[in-house]
Amino acid sequence: MSLLTVEGLRVHFGHGDTQVQALHDVDLTIEPGEIVGLVGESGSGKTVTSLALMGLLDPRSSRIEGRAVLDGKELWDEKGERKTPRHEIPMAMVFQEPMTALDPVFTVGYQLMETLKVRRGMDKRAARAEALSLLDAVGISDPKARMKAYPHELSGGMRQRVMIAIALACDPKLLIADEPTTAVDVTIQAQLLDLIKKLSRERGMSVLFVTHDLGVVSETCDRMITMYAGRVVERGPVKEVLAAPGHPYTAGLLAALPSPESRGGRLATIPGRVPPPGDVVEGCIFRPRCPYAQDECRTEQKLIALTDTREVRCIRSREIDFEGVAS
C-alpha cells in the first residue's frame, strides 16, 4: 500500500470569473521509504502541489479538488477543506529559504522545542533533550551552544539543517523538501543531500524532493515526476527517465544541463516560457515550445504507458529519438 496517493488534484486561484486553474488532475504515489523527485521550471506547479498537500494554501483565495490520502488519512474532504487535523498528519516540509522560514527573533532551541511541545506534547525537559538529539542527528556540532543561537548567527547550511531538524520534530513519514539546497554552495549542497538520504534510510521516511536540478534528482531520487504548466508530463524510475526521456520537455531539461562537452559553448535552451495559469493552448500544452510538434499534437494529450514502469503525456513518444540527450 502506498504511503501517499494523490488522485485528480486540481487547484484554482481567484474568485468567480477571475479564477484560474494552476494544477490539472495531478496524480502521484509515494511508497514507504521512497524518494521521489518533482521536477520542472519555475511555474510548473511543483510548489503549489507541495503547499496543497501541506494545507498551506489560503482557502480565501484558492480552491482544492481531488483526493489525497497519506498513511490511510484523507487530507481534505469533497469541499477541499482540511479533513484530518494537521497535528495528526505525519508530514512535514523543509522550505527553500531557511532565513525566511525561521523566526529571526527566537533562538533555534526555542523554535525547535516549541515544535516538539505542540506536535508531540512534550514537556520542557523532554523537549530540550529531544531538540539536542535532533540537532545532533542532522550533523550540527555542539548542539548545546547552537540551541542558544539566533538564525542570523548561523550559516546558510546550518540554518537549513535546523529546518530539517524542526521537520523531523514532527516525526514525519513523508518529508517534502522544496528546493532545500538552492541557497547554499555546492559543497554544502552535497552534504545536505547526503543527510536527507541518510535520514530517509535510517527512519524509513519517504521524501518528495521538489527541484529544478536534474543533477540533484539523479543523485538522490528513486523515481521522478516531470511537471509542466500544472500537469504531470512524465514519470518513472530516475535511471530509466534520465537515460532515455520519453517527453520532449524532459529531454529539453536534460539537454540544458552543463557537460564537459559543452564547455566554452552555449548551453541548449528551451525557447519560450511556461504559460501562466489561465492561458489556453490547443492540444498539447507544451506544443508552442516543442521542436517535434506536428498537427496531431493539437489534440488533447493524456498520460500513456511507455513501459510497465513509465508514463508520458506525448502522442509521439514512441517515434521520437532524442539524439544527444540519452546517455
Tell me the per-residue pLDDT of 210-229, one tens digit each, with 9 for 90 and over: 998 898 999 999 999 999 99
Closest CA to 33 of 63, 3, 74: 3
Please name the residues in contact with 187: beta carbons below 8 A apart, sequence gap of 6 or more: none
pLDDT in tens, 163-178: 999 999 999 999 999 9
pLDDT category of residue 326 using cuts at 50, 70 and 90 = very low
Residue 185 — very low, low, confident or very high, per pLDDT cuts 50/70/90?
Answer: confident
**What order do you get walking across the sheet with 174-178 strand by strand?**
91-94, 174-178, 206-211, 35-39, 223-228, 231-237, 311-312, 304-305
Is-contact 162 136, C-beta < 8 A?
Answer: no
Cell of 86: 494537521
| Residues β-bridged to residue 208 | 36, 176
pTM for this structure? Answer: 0.92
List pLDDT tens digits, range 78-129.
888 888 887 889 999 999 888 888 999 999 999 999 999 999 999 999 999 9
What mean pLDDT do residues 255-284 have? 81
* Whether pLDDT at 255 is above 50: yes
The average confidence (pLDDT) of the chain is 91
For residue 47, the cross-strand partners are: none
208 three-state secondary structure: strand
Quote the pLDDT of residue 17: 78
Q: Is the pLDDT of residue 325 over 50?
A: no
Q: Which SS3 state, helix, strand or coil, does residue 244 take?
A: coil
Residue type, 119: R
**Residue 57 near residue 139, CB atoms below 8 Å:** no
Instruction: Give the pLDDT of residue 66.
Output: 95
Please, are residues 174 and 70 in contact by the beta-carbon 8 Å criterion?
yes
312 with 245: CB under 8 angstroms? no
